[in-house]
Structure 1
Amino acid sequence: MTFLEPALLFALPLAALPVIIHLIHLYRRRQVKWAAMMFLLMAQRMNKGLSRLRQVLILAFRVLAVAAIIFVVTRPLAGGWLGLTGGAPDTVMILLDRSASMEQQNTTTGVSKRLAGLRNIARAIHDAVGTRSRLVLVDSAVGDPQSLDKAERLLDMPQTGPTDTKADIPGMLQKALDYITTNKSGRTDVWVLSDLQQGDWDAAGGRWETLRSAYAALQGVRFHLLAYPQIAEDDLAVRVERVTRRETSAKAELLMDLRITRQAGQALVPIEVPLRVVINGAATTVKVTLKESQLVLQGQTFPIDKSLKRGWGRVELPGDACLPNNAWHFVFDEPPPMRSVIVSDDELETSGLVAALGAQADPSRKYAVTRLRSQRAAEIPWDETA
């Protein structure tokens, strides 16, 4: 047997509290003798055995109640004769959420949700089933089921490392369902490790009803959810929604749309956030004030050299409990020309279309118009043509 919260077992001595309280109350009693005491003592001696048994039973049940509460809070896991099915399952599937939000770290231990969950699952599977069950991993980045020889492999595999991706929990459950039905995996335990982000679970999506029906038709499939829903109160995130290079006769610059968010649970007091922007290795820091749960900066301009036609960059926030959402990478280039093709055998009737499509609706873009006869329509480059 193993426990997901073994540290709480140190609280088991608290089960003796009812006995201690009972003894304290016994010593607080004060004896006062009076005339009719002999008759009361005789009656007490007659009922002494039953009264003492009742007191012992009450104390025993109080002690068991406190111990049971502590035992349940430690979240025990059992296999073999102690397990619900009386033995190890044939297959254990681990569905691992490797999304960026799982890299939020515990400020005390410095361990991420992903790593803490993997350690707990590896220890629980090792203690409960050992090597008696087939182990299969389905991670949110790769998605393909992969067999493991032992639970400890979860801690050092590339397929369990951190990513900056988003998880698709319904998709992972579908992968697990396909594996179970295709391989006839027998009695199966499905472990799901996630931080319960709404976007990862897609609760409003249309796949859940089908998944519920499919899993309900299977025999011997059990689910275990190891959840880390805690959100750091000081977590900030940045996102670059649009990057455009603009050039005039005097200068060149990048126009960016940025979005900075913070957790809704925080007290919405204005805070000053240093925003570091790196463009082709050159860094600039600007300070912005975040008053609400999010701040949208549209058309934020950053000057660049006119000779710099394309490049890369990133926007960074100061480090906090969740590092992956503190930086956003981007690339930029000159806007590609807007290409249009007119297919016609009569040049006269298409002259108006040529003039309209070649007009510069956006001064920062280039426009190209090609006119082809009908027998040359197969020459149109569809991947770059509007």
Structure 2
Amino acid sequence: MSFTSPWLLWALFAASIPLIIHLVNRWRHRSVHWAAMEFLLRAARETRGTKKLLHYLILALRVLAVAALVTAFARPLLSSFFGWGSSGLNEVLLVLDRSASMDARPDKTNSLRDAVPPLVESTFAQLGSCRLSLLDSTTGSVTQIPAPEALADLTVSKTTDGGADIPALLQKAIPYLEESGSGKTEIWIASDMQSTSWKPDSPLWSSVRQRLAALSIPPSIRIMALRDRPETNRGIRVRQAQVNNGKLVLDLEVLRQGFNPNQPESVPVHLSVDNAAASATLQLAGESTTIRKEIPLPQGKESGFGFVSLPHDDFTRDDTSFFTFAPRPLANILICGPAGEVGKTLSLMSAPPGESHAGGPTFPDGNTAR
């Protein structure tokens, strides 16, 4: 049997408190012989054994009640203890959210270093013999983990400055489950449950549900929700940076956590473009605010870099967002195919109507390059 919080088992010493109270009460009383009570004591002597047994039974129940309460707080994992050995699982696929918000904890600890490995290790210990694999939000590839204890030391289990896309990750997990043929599988999703990572409005969710259900052995899913985040936090990111008519157009998104969504506020923001600093004030409302900011550029300026930042709070990793901007690159596409309808179709696929077409030479065999 394993426990989620084994350190609480030290409190089992509290189970001895009813016994100590019983012994103290026995030491406190002194026997005084009183002639008038001898008759009554003689009459009650026949039932003394039954009363003593009942007394000890009540004492034992008190001790067991305290021990059961402490064990419940330690959160035992009983499936391998009462589950006749193995859980029957062949593989556990850990889908890991490595977004920057996984580092936002009020006690200054790191979820991926201090919370996820012990949770995975304690839960994995009760499953018996099965394989552990990792699918992280940064690489998007599956890595085999030799043992849960190694999770904390792996590079692919560290937080990054990027975000996560949980439905896209689950979609990548499906081909792996189809090809691996692992049999009975569980998918564990370790995340801090940020809506920007889970994307509840994503059209991928319906496809993911259907494809998981269509597997020969549909996997069960376990959510490891790590909600221990700072009470309040603001974060900013640049969704898009582009040049339009001599102006830099920034599409900004500001997320607020722990604030009253019905109470607007003004927040200063610092902007820097090619080391030229500027400041502005953003009007925020709700949990998420999208703002378009236009910044005039010097004549002829078409590319560069910069950042936007909010005042620092308890979690600083999402207070600054960097960006670059440049003219949209011109895609050169070469199509080699037979002349006629097929070549025309390929040409339309490479550059739909409205886009510029450039003719190309015709090869001796009749093929055309575009």
TM-score normalized with structure 1 length = 0.66
- The 1:271/1:306 distance shift into structure 2, 3 A limit, reads same
Say which of 262, 271, 275 aligns to 2:269: 275
Classify the secondary structure of the residue corresponding to 1:141.
Answer: coil
Which residue does the alignment assign to 2:257? 263
Higher mean C-alpha deviation, range 53-62 or range 82-91:
82-91
CA offsets per residue over residues 308-349 of structure 1, 9 Å max, x none? 221222212244454443233333346899xxxxxxxxxxxx
The answer to whether structure 1 residue 382 and structure 2 residue 351 are counterparts is yes
1:287–1:199 distance in 2 versus 1, CA, 3 Å: closer
Aligned pair 1:157/2:154, yes or no?
A: yes
Distance 1:85 1:302, change over 3 A: farther
Cα distance in 2 for residues equivalent to 1:181 and 1:268? 46
Change (3 A) 1:306 1:6: farther
1:332 to 325, 330, 333: 325
**Aligned partners of 1:134, 1:336: CA distance in 2, in Å?**
45
Q: Is the 8 Å Cα contact of residues 91 and 188 (structure 1) preserved in structure 2?
A: yes
Structure 1 residues 74 and 37: alpha-carbon distance in aligned structure 2, compared to 1, 3 A threshold: same
Match of 1:64 in 2: 64
Percent identical across equivalent pairs? 27
Q: Superposition pairs for residues 281-300 of structure 1, below 5 Å?
A: 281-286=275-280, 288=282, 293=287, 297-298=291-292, 300=293
User: Cα 1:278–1:213, aligned 2, differ >3 Å: closer, same or farther?
Assistant: same
Q: Is the 8 A contact 2:261 2:287 kept in 1?
A: no
> Quick one: structure 1 residues 99 and 122, their matched pair in 2 at CA, closer, same or farther if it must change by over 3 Å?
closer
**Equivalent-residue separation in structure 2 for 1:145 and 1:313 (angstroms):** 34
Match of 1:86 in 2: 85
Aligned-pair distance for 1:49? 2.5
> Which secondary structure state, in structure 2, belongs to the residue aligned with residue 46 of structure 1?
helix
More divergent stretch after superposition (275-284 vs 119-128): 119-128
Letter of the 1:385 partner, please give it. Answer: E
Gaps of 5+ in 1: 338-375
Check the 8 A contact 1:94/1:137 in 2, yes or no. Answer: yes
Unpaired runs of 5+ residues, structure 2, are 331-343, 357-370
What is the Cα deviation at residue 86 of structure 1? 0.3
Q: Give CA-to-partner distance per residue, 1:138-188, whole Å, 9 cap, x none.
A: 22333433223333332233322323132325852x655654554443554
Q: Is the 8 A contact 1:103 1:323 kept in 2?
A: no
Partner of 2:248: 254
Give the TM-score taking structure 2 as reference length: 0.69
Q: What is the aligned partner in structure 2 of residue 348 from structure 1?
A: none
Residue 193 (structure 1) shift: 1.8
The alpha-carbon deviation at position 113 of structure 1 amounts to 1.8
Aligned partners of 2:268, 2:55: CA distance in 1, in Å? 66
Q: Determine whether 1:305 maps to 2:301.
A: no
1:1-386 to structure 2, matched below 5 A, reads: 1-19=1-19, 37-77=37-77, 82=81, 84-87=83-86, 91-100=90-99, 102-108=101-107, 110-121=108-119, 123-124=121-122, 132-163=129-160, 164-169=162-167, 171-172=169-170, 179-180=176-177, 182-186=179-183, 188=185, 190-198=187-195, 200-201=197-198, 205-207=205-207, 210=210, 213=213, 218=217, 224-241=222-239, 243=241, 245=243, 253-264=247-258, 273-286=267-280, 288=282, 293=287, 297-298=291-292, 300-333=293-326, 382=351, 385=355
Alpha-carbon distance change, 60 to 159 in structure 1, aligned in 2, over 3 angstroms: same
Q: Secondary structure at the match of 2:9?
A: helix
Letter in 1 for 2:59: L
Paired residue total: 338
